[in-house]
Structure 1
Amino acid sequence: MVEYAKYVDVTKCDGCRACMVSCKNWNDLPAEPQDFLGSNQSHAKVTANTWNVLSFIEHENSKGNLEYLFRHSACFHCKEAACVKVCPEEALHYTDFGTVVINDEKCVGCGYCVQNCPFDVVSLATYKDKHGKEYKKAQKCTMCTDRLEEGMQPACVTVCHTGAMEFGEKDKMIQKAEKRLAEIKGKFPNANIYNPAGVGGTHAIYVLAEKPSVYGLPENPKVPTSAVIWKDYAQPIGKMMLGATTMAVIGAYISNKIFYKEDHGHDENGGGSNE
């Protein structure tokens, strides 16, 4: 099966935010008024209603000069996605394009995908039913899979006027990234290709001018061990013995215990930090 990927060259981005606007328009996402962040950045991070954010990073380069770095921030669509592995309802799944999408009818808003995503790109959106009762559903970038199915490109790619983004066969996108890396190494000695192996590689391949951490990205993201054990070992065996519904309940209970223990542990050590 042919794999596809979005290629993002941050060195060509000029921060115009056209990708953000096109994402909002195509996916019919509501506006989210934000407090002033003290910079040109409109949103601190992606949210349930803003799946694509243009990040502005103030950075002191190797020559001691202050410069702005830009990064198109959205879901990476990991080949081995933690969100898919931890979902007790199997609401998250892979498509033929390698993208990761959410089945709204199956999602129960448990939030395990949110807590396990190494890139912090999944969020819970709040809705109200006809009786006014609130409920939650996980939401994130879909890489415009609905457009891909019609032979079109992702909305963000189509509006990028600098050519910083492309979409195509993954092998070709990696080759393009490698060629571009060779071209910019003289100007950006720390330049690298971001396609982390710890999540099996991603379907959003980045050419970064600096180390991933400069852009707020994890250097070596990995699928949590607990998620691997649950999805690849415990769940298949349990389904054979107990049935899928029972295993979903057990999975929710186990995940809740794990997350409670982690949060409790953070509190005992002076509290954890949130981005």
Structure 2
Amino acid sequence: MGREVDLPDPAAATGYDDPPPRMGFFTDTSVCIGCKACEVACKEWNLVPEDGLDFTGMSYDNTVGLGADTWRHVAFIEQRKPLGVQDVGMHHDIDVLELAAHGAGTAPDEASTTPTAPGDRGEFRWLMASDVCKHCTHAACLDVCPTGSLFRTEFGTVVVQEDICNGCGYCIPACPFGVIDQRQGDGRAWKCTLCYDRLGEGMEPACAKACPTDSIQFGPLDELRARADQRVRRLHQHGITDARLYGADPGDGVGGDGAFFLLLDEPEVYGLPPDPVVTTRDLPAMWRRVGAAAAALAAATAAAFTITARRGL
């Protein structure tokens, strides 16, 4: 069984009465095959403009990163590193697809008890990962939006209302993950909505629906986190000790993510910040200090006027 997780409910904190369970994504990169079905499905359903047809020189990664016209981004990372220690008989318990997708170096029936050594044939592997907006528990983009264009839904997700966005761009530097972007020729901010229109109809987001390996899993966030814990333990048992969860901890700098990931290396390898924090976390204290300074200045000014008035008598 997975751990019991006490998740904060951002929808309830926002003011929704009796909201539904918080929904989100668990992206298991260990079974991502880099097919880009999620990118295509996202664009087709959400009418996101075409981009990324130019060769970038970055392997098969033609979209490079998230942006206004790329709400799902599949990263391709090449490494001279084995997938993990492979034991005889391991293939009977772990998906063959996982080994094939990441270039484990030996076919299941050729696995040995000796880890692959640097320089040996077959040490090469791919790390593939489909990135997306994290739908943070404590979302700085919501804090800085002056028009209310960004709002928290009843499912705990964060959505941009393009008809209200004035293109100020405050949300862009506020995002600790660099997710939000302004569309060229448009000026407004755009990002993943976690297919809010589909959620309202009881449907899963387009990217999860299209994923052929269930690398992208959608559902109630507490269930996904328990499932992710089991998955990490299973990979550790089979020698893939680098497997770790990213964004699943409610105690991290953003209160945990509504979209979290199973990674096979350090977050920085995937272009993710190792210790993200809410960029607006110090705003309340800053405003208190500004208020105190303003009050002190007003008191000093009043005192100066009083002294001047008395001297003039």
Q: Which band: TM-score by shorter chain?
A: 0.7 to 0.9
Q: Highest Rg: 1 or 2?
A: 2
- The Cα shift of 1:33 comes to 4.4
- The Cα shift of 1:49 comes to 1.3
Q: Which of residues 3, 6, 15 is equivalent to 2:34?
A: 15
Q: Which residue of 2 aligns with 1:94?
A: 152
Unpaired runs of 5+ in structure 2?
1-18, 83-116, 292-313
Q: Which residue of 2 aligns with 1:44?
A: 64
Over 3 Å counting, the alpha-carbon distance change for 1:33 and 1:177 in structure 2 is closer
TM-score with structure 1 setting the length = 0.77
What are the superposed Cα offsets for residues 144-175 of structure 1, whole Å, 9 maximum, x if unpaired?
Answer: 11100110000000011111121111111000
CA contact (8 A) 1:86 1:231 kept: no
- The Cα shift of 1:119 comes to 1.0
What are the superposed Cα offsets for residues 251-273 of structure 1, whole Å, 9 maximum, x if unpaired?
Answer: xxxxxxxxxxxxxxxxxxxxxxx
Unpaired runs of 5+ in structure 1?
128-134, 239-275
Over 3 Å counting, the alpha-carbon distance change for 1:80 and 1:40 in structure 2 is same
Matched AA of 2:262: V
Q: Which of residues 181, 191, 211 is equivalent to 1:140?
A: 191
TM-score with structure 2 setting the length = 0.68
Larger proportion of strand: 1
What are the superposed Cα offsets for residues 55-105 of structure 1, whole Å, 9 maximum, x if unpaired?
Answer: 101123265422110010111111111111122223211111111001223
What are the superposed Cα offsets for residues 7-49 of structure 1, whole Å, 9 maximum, x if unpaired?
Answer: 1100011111100110010011121144312211111112211
Q: Which residue of 1 aligns with 2:88?
A: none
Q: Which residue of 1 aligns with 2:111?
A: none
2:23 pairs with 1:4: yes
Q: Which residue of 2 aligns with 1:242?
A: none
Q: Which residue of 1 aligns with 2:266?
A: 211
| C-alpha RMSD of the superposition | 2.0
Q: Which of residues 185, 210, 222 is equivalent to 1:159?
A: 210
- The Cα shift of 1:231 comes to 6.3
Q: Which of residues 222, 234, 243 is equivalent to 1:191?
A: 243
Over 3 Å counting, the alpha-carbon distance change for 1:232 and 1:18 in structure 2 is farther
Q: Which residue of 2 aligns with 1:113?
A: 171
SS at match of 1:85: helix
What is the rounded CA distance, in whole Å, between the counterparts of 1:176 and 1:212 in structure 2?
A: 20
Q: Which residue of 2 aligns with 1:56?
A: 76
What is the rounded CA distance, in whole Å, between the counterparts of 2:208 and 2:129 in structure 1?
A: 14
Matched AA of 2:260: I
Q: Which of residues 187, 196, 200 is equivalent to 1:149?
A: 200
SS at match of 1:199: coil
What is the rounded CA distance, in whole Å, between the counterparts of 1:150 and 1:136 in structure 2?
A: 30
CA contact (8 A) 1:85 1:231 kept: no
Matched AA of 2:269: V
SS at match of 1:126: coil
Question: Quick one: percent identity of the two aligned structures?
Answer: 38
Over 3 Å counting, the alpha-carbon distance change for 1:141 and 1:167 in structure 2 is same
